[in-house]
Structure 1
Amino acid sequence: MSIFRLAHLSDLHLPPPQGAFGWRDLLSKRLLSRIAWRRKRREHRPEVLAALVADLKAHAPDHIAITGDLTNYASPAEYEAARVWLEALGPAWNITVSPGNHDALVEAKGGQPFAAWTPWLGDDGAIAFPQVRMRDGVALFNLCSAAPTAPHLATGRLGKAQLDRLDALLGDPAYRDAFRVLLIHHPPVPGAVVKRKALEDQDALRALLVRHGADLILHGHAHEAMVATAPGPNGATIPVLGVPSASAMGKRGHPAARWHGVEIDRRADGGVEVKVVARGLDPESGEPSELGRYILTQAGRPAARRS
């Protein structure tokens, strides 16, 4: 069987365009984000992101997963700027976006904050989660943990409706033989981030995974390269991978910009081998290069499945 190459990047923090912040935002949480951006803009650089994306494109992945925080204030001008950026990245069929907390910083007027990103959310033209995108035997379950929160909080939440739908989708026989990848901004792992930044209903999500299983979970939010596991059925474990910010200079205590190439090699005997290639800015040259590679799932070992 062929190898499916999935590129993962996250936490882009695109520079806010002209008009992203207005006088009405002085009384909202956007004011705090604007103050924070004055500091963060020295760390999150568009030229760094451009170099990383050029390196990613040179490796021609089959699909690109972006796990959130394309924006900073979640303003209409930023949504539109991110849409233009996504169009330049490639066809929407080949790119999936899972929104982050910065993409839902405040309640959106009209209740459709991600309308501009609809083609990158799923295949059915809806602004709803989760959505499933089938690509060459790989099922991408796109979740949304982005939810408006009080000042100084960056927590995430899936909510009962999304969890109920995910329960049904993970149990759907249509995806039983697919390699199932969950995309989410907040890490579903206890202790991965501090409480004020954590996924509020991660216990409910993990309970679903124990029942139904999955093969891989990709997340962002922590701005760190993280390797963890979540419990699956019958004592199995599900790999959970986080990637640093794709625009980070690496000068403020966080790793420099990085993307992960995930190579999914499904074998005829039912086993699977998953390789991860980490690429990012070399600390000496500042140019993108390979930082390391490892085998995440050994060949011949079946992925986590429902009993």
Structure 2
Amino acid sequence: MSAVLAHLSDPHLPLEIVPSRREWAIKRIISMISWRFNRRHIHRTRALAAVMRDIDACGADALAITGDLTNLGTREECIAATRWLDRLPTPRAVIPGNHDTMIRASWADGPGLWRDVGGMPDEETPVFLRVGDAALIGVSSAVPSPPFFASGRVSDIQIDRMAELLRRTGEQGLCRVVMIHHPPRKGLVLWSKALRGLDRFTEAVRSAGAEMVLHGHSHQGTFSTIPDSEIPVIGVTSASHRPGHSLKRAAGWNRISIHKEDRDWQITVESRRLAPDGQLHDFRTTRFTRPALRAEADIRPTKESVL
């Protein structure tokens, strides 16, 4: 059974409510200044609306949203993001980004509000969504960091649970898609924004196996691999970035088509970008093949394997 995924990230929904005094912190103040004088002119509601219309027109079986739905990660912003997610007609898997957990705060008043609209069951349990023969498995790399830093980390508990899900869905013969906000590859973002504990995360993905990894955070549509493997690592631009002279960083999304052919997964990634004319266009198409594992139920013992 084939599946079509819409991968989008970093929508940075409009900041409409000023945080209450008890929610202020140095890092939020710095980010608020950045939003007011810079980022609000970059992340535009009209651009995000165009991306969502394009996703709806192109058709997708599920949305894979890799974080940064908010700007300051306040409770009010997370509630607004809940309403936005709830209006989306397509099933979705949602993980938080660094902006969604900017300071130490209650999970229940932040990304925990998204539990019933596609988010993680709790802060240590990966989100899981099966779509046809594809399994979306999302972990949170979103942790509070000092001012002027946006680094991330995946907890050991999450990594262990992710690995178990990867093994289990591999035994079922599914196409395994890992979701994380921070790119699991050095050099894709500045060191101050990078994933800490990278080696443990990538080792778990290599050992348990996966067909691809989706990420956000970099605001760029990049293609790389998990180190020392052929597992593709796929980034995407911000879903709300205003169009400019270049389509490289303009708002966009990835249409990921998955189908099995003989014993291989045939995967096509169509990167869509918003042009100044207000329409989205094909920017790049990448195709790759990943060997498909056979489900345990499909494996029949031969005479030589019977003791």
Relative to the length of structure 2, the TM-score reads: 0.88
For residues 122 and 137 of structure 2, what CA distance do their matches in structure 1 show? 14
Q: Which residue of 2 aligns with 1:224?
A: 220
Does structure 2 retain, via aligned residues, the 8 Å contact 1:98–1:185? yes
Contact in 1 for aligned 2:174/2:293 (Cα 8 Å): no
| Aligned residue type for 2:94 | V
- Corresponding residue number in structure 2 for 1:265: 259
Over 3 Å counting, the alpha-carbon distance change for 1:31 and 1:251 in structure 2 is farther
How far the C-alpha of 1:27 sits from its partner, in A, is: 3.6
Specify which of 22, 26, 34 is matched with residue 32 of structure 2. 34
Q: CA deviation at 1:279?
A: 1.3
Count of residues paired in the alignment: 292
Identity of aligned residues (%): 37
Report the 3-state secondary structure (helix = DSSP H, G, I; strand = E; otherwise coil) of the residue aligned with 1:150. coil
Matched, 1:282 2:275: yes
- Choose 1 or 2 for highest CA Rg: 2
**1:40 aligned counterpart, secondary structure:** helix
Contact 1:118/1:127, CA 8 A, preserved across alignment: no
Indicate the SS of the match to 2:87. Answer: helix
Q: Summarize the alignment of residues 1-307 of structure 1 with structure 2, pairs less than 5 Å apart.
A: 2-18=1-17, 20-38=18-36, 39-91=38-90, 94-109=91-106, 113-121=110-118, 125-126=121-122, 128-172=124-168, 175-231=171-227, 236-251=229-244, 255-267=249-261, 269-283=262-276, 285-297=277-289, 302-303=291-292
Instruction: Check whether the contact 1:139–1:175 (CA below 8 A) recurs between aligned residues.
Output: no
State the shift of 1:173 in Å. Answer: 6.1
Q: How big is the shift at 1:17?
A: 2.1
State whether residues 259 and 266 of structure 2, in contact with CA within 8 Å, keep that contact through their aligned partners in structure 1. yes
Q: Describe the SS at the equivalent of 1:21.
A: coil
Partner Cα distance (1:127, 1:175) in 2: 26
Aligned partners of 2:84, 2:241: CA distance in 1, in Å? 17
Structure 2: where are the runs of 5+ without partners? 295-307
- CA shift at 1:127, angstroms? 5.1
SS of equivalent residue, structure 1 residue 171: helix
Q: Distance in 1 between matches of 2:119 and 2:53?
A: 24
Rate the CA distance shift 1:10–1:252 in 2: closer, same or farther, 3 A: farther
Q: Secondary structure at the match of 1:12?
A: coil
Question: In structure 1, what is the Cα distance between the partners aligned to 2:141 and 2:45?
Answer: 25
What is the TM-score normalised by the length of structure 1? 0.88
Paired residues of 1:282 and 1:291 also in contact (CA < 8 A): no
